[in-house]
């Protein structure tokens, strides 16, 4: 068996090449025990494929890394909200972090009592009264409050319903992260959170409201962060705030460390076990002696590497010396490269020759059919020669892939398949034109 990333080894147990290269034969890329070529033939392309084994393995890695402290893993639903993925995570004991009423309704679809175990945290800067009411009636664990106005609205809503709301204030620790500016959230110029000095006033205000219960402190400094020292710096500031709040008489039981742990999109990363162990040490160290229940909100680090997007090459094209592979997936299927300039490794599903440093390669752009120059997956990418009709796999798309899909150019959303060992099942069918226009009126 050859791993899809030969230099480092693609993170097992998800995606690997199987079979020996010989005359007239090729190695095939598998998801667990299922060949991806078979899935593309059966379900068409573009097609999202996820590994259940990898998702389970990563949830369990979090549990092992944080075993020394009471904690609850609240998966960040915004990373991938497909119901079957949420059901798989719930089956592994995960709770959920939601940022909208729609995401909470998805969690409630799993089972009516899913929100009240208690395992749901409601984050986000723009909660409406209707969303607050749904969350209160569902009995969620915690509201992460982001402004004085939000605190007032939650108090009024809870009073009207006569249901008590446990709250944490999301503080902005003014910590810089080495990540894309669109997904950095921990500096004072960002819309998220409350400066630490102002947070103390909000806690004092909340303590006076009969239907609000001060319960925790929250932070989230951004996404796709690989420097674990940044997390430690933020948690040290939170720990200091917890001590101050307790001295002021507040019963702080929870500390919500948020999410944001990054993954490698180029394959050059240490094992996830080592990465998560370093992350756990950075988060836990500032909390020693505080006797807190830790809340974690991972998303990308659990589902990101567990998904690939299969796409078929429609055409090869050359403009002077510029080469293009035009594929049937597009920016409406996977927005990250267009939105962030994000890098995703792209590999052939079938390999007829060894892809080593000495093997023939070509420099090409991999682009979609949408009428936008920004519709691309890779620019000036070194790839083995690919023919029209060949399948490509875009790696590490389990997070912020299908969840960001749209109908731009009246394109239907891609189908999604979940693989579990030798079994593969459709968890979202391919969207039709009828699906797209059913809410419209002539």
CATH topology of domain 2-51+305-437: Lyase, Ornithine Decarboxylase; Chain A, domain 1 (2.40.37)
Alpha helices in 188-335 (DSSP H): 196-207, 228-247, 272-284, 300-303
Which tokens in the block code for residue 215? 């319960």
Of the residues 20, 268, 371, 439, only one is catalytic, namely 371
Q: Crossing angle for the helix pair 129-138 and 101-110, nearest 10 degrees?
A: 20
Among 391, 403, 418, CA closest to 336: 403
Identify how many contiguous H helices and E strands the chain contains and give both numbers. Answer: 12, 23
> Residue 226 is encoded by which pair of tokens?
């690989």
| Distance, CA of 104 to CA of 110 (rounded, Å) | 10
Question: Which among 385, 377, 375 is positioned nearest to 344, based on CA atoms?
Answer: 377
pLDDT per residue, tens digit, the chain (442 aa), is 444 543 333 444 589 898 655 445 679 999 999 999 999 999 999 999 999 999 999 999 999 999 999 999 999 999 999 999 999 999 999 999 999 999 999 999 987 665 556 699 999 999 999 999 999 999 999 999 999 999 999 999 999 999 999 999 999 877 644 543 433 443 454 455 788 888 999 999 999 999 999 999 999 887 778 788 888 888 999 999 999 999 999 999 999 999 888 888 886 556 888 899 999 999 999 999 999 999 999 999 999 999 999 999 999 999 988 999 999 999 999 999 999 899 999 999 998 755 444 468 999 999 999 999 999 999 999 999 999 999 999 999 999 999 999 999 999 999 999 999 999 999 999 999 999 999 999 9
Look at residue 392 and give its three-state secondary structure. strand
Tell me the C-alpha to C-alpha distance, in Å, between residue 342 and each of 15, 37, 80: 21, 26, 17
The Cα–Cα gap between 409 and 407 comes to 6
Cis peptide before 46 (omega within 30 of 0): yes
Q: pTM for this structure?
A: 0.91
What pLDDT digit, counting tens, does each position of 213-260 carry? Answer: 999 999 988 777 878 888 888 899 999 999 999 999 999 999 999 988
Helix axes 83-91, 101-110, angle to 10 degrees: 60
Q: Do 280 and 273 contact (CB within 8 A), yes or no?
A: no
Q: For the chain, give every domain's residue range.
A: 2-51+305-437, 52-304
DSSP SS3 for 391: strand
Q: For residue 238, with 0-12 CB atoms within 10 Å meaning exposed, 13-18 middle and 19 or more buried, which class applies?
A: buried
CATH 1.10.630.10 corresponds to the domain 52-304:
no
Q: Under the phi-then-psi rule, with left for phi > 0, alpha for psi from -120 to 50, and beta for the rest, what region is 19?
A: left
Active-site annotation holds for 371: yes
DSSP per residue, 251-307? ---EEE----B---SSS----HHHHHHHHHHHHHGGGTTS--EEEE---HHHHGGGE
By CB neighbour count within 10 A (0-12 exposed, 13-18 middle, 19+ buried), where does 270 fall?
Answer: exposed
Angle between helices 148-161 and 129-138 (to 10 degrees): 50
324, two tokens:
């293009």
Report CA-CA distances (Å) from 197 to 64, 193, 238, 241, 342.
35, 12, 12, 9, 36
Sign of the torsion formed by the C-alpha atoms of 73, 78, 79 and 83: positive
């Amino acid at each position: 068996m050859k791993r899809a990333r030969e230099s480092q080894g693609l993170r097992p147990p998800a995606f690997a090449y199987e079979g020996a290269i010989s005359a007239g034969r090729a190695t095939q890329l598998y998801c667990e025990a299922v060949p991806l070529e078979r899935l593309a033939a059966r379900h068409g392309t573009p097609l999202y494929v996820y590994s259940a084994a990898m998702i389970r393995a990563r949830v369990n890695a979090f549990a092992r890394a944080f075993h020394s402290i009471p904690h609850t893993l609240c998966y960040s639903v915004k990373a991938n909200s497909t119901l079957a993925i949420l059901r798989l995570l719930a089956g592994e004991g995960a709770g959920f972090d939601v940022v909208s009423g729609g995401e909470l309704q998805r969690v409630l679809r799993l089972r009516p009592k899913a929100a009240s175990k208690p395992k749901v945290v409601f984050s986000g800067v723009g909660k409406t009264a209707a969303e607050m009411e749904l969350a209160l009636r569902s009995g969620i664990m915690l509201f992460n409050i982001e402004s004085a106005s939000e605190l007032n609205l939650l108090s009024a809503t809870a009073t009207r319903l006569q249901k008590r709301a446990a709250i944490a204030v999301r503080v902005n620790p003014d910590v810089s992260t080495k990540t894309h500016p669109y997904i950095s959230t921990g500096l004072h110029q960002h819309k998220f959170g409350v400066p630490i000095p102002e947070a103390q006033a909000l806690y004092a205000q909340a303590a006076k409201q009969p239907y609000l219960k001060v319960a925790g402190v929250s932070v989230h400094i951004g996404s796709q962060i690989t420097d674990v020292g940044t997390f430690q710096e933020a948690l040290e500031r939170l720990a200091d705030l917890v001590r101050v709040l307790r001295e002021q008489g507040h019963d702080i039981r929870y500390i919500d460390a948020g999410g944001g742990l990054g993954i490698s999109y180029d394959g050059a990363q240490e094992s996830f076990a080592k990465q998560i162990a370093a992350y756990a040490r950075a988060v836990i160290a500032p909390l020693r002696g505080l006797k807190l229940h830790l809340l974690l909100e991972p998303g990308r680090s659990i589902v990101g590497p567990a998904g690939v997007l299969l796409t078929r090459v429609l055409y090869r094209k050359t403009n002077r010396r510029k080469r293009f592979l035009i594929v049937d997936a597009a920016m409406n299927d996977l927005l990250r490269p267009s939105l962030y300039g994000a890098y995703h490794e792209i590999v052939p599903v079938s390999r007829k020759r060894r892809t080593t440093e000495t093997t023939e390669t070509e420099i090409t752009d991999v682009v979609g059919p949408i009428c936008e120059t920004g519709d691309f997956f890779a620019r000036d990418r070194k790839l083995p020669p690919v023919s029209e009709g060949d399948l490509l796999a875009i790696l590490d798309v389990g997070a912020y892939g299908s969840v960001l899909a749209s109908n731009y150019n009246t394109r239907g959303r891609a189908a999604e398949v979940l693989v579990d060992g030798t079994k593969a099942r459709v968890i979202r069918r391919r969207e039709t034109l009828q699906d797209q226009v059913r809410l419209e009126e002539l």
